[in-house]
Amino acid sequence: MVDILYLITLVPTVLLSTLRSDDDGFDKMNYKYTVGLLVLFSTITATKQFDDDRIECWSRANFIKPYVDYTNQICYISSTYYIDRNKTIPQNIEQRILLIHIALDVNFDDDEEFNIEL
């Protein structure tokens, strides 16, 4: 019997608590859509950050895929190697080195021929 009385008093409380009369249209839009938009934009940002290839750095032709992935990660976090898409890559090695702002040193322990010093 107590449960039935509790349910009878609970239903109007829930119904009346969802009806707000002091909010205008902007308030309703704010608490209805703001959370959804924040979740949507954070999901898009996280997906783009962790799933997409963020940057493609120059690497040697004889690198295997894990070496190329590692080089791309290092270039992304240190922003060391940038060439404008509208310009051509210089053929002279000294001119290429001038494009690099910070020295990138990648050392793979298992094979000595894969040492990079840009």
User: Model confidence over 2-21: pLDDT tens digits?
Assistant: 566 666 666 666 555 565 56
Residue-wise pLDDT for 30-43, tens only, equals 877 888 889 899 98
* Distance in angstroms (rounded) separating the CA atoms of residues 72 and 106: 11
pTM of the model: 0.33
For residue 34, what are its two tokens? 């703001």
Closest C-alpha to 83, from 65, 98, 104, 62: 98
CA–CA separation, 102 vs 118, rounded Å?
Answer: 8
Closest C-alpha among 82, 73, 83, 79 to residue 106 = 73
Q: What confidence category does residue 108 fall into, taking pLDDT thresholds of 50, 70 and 90?
A: very low
Amino acid at 59: S
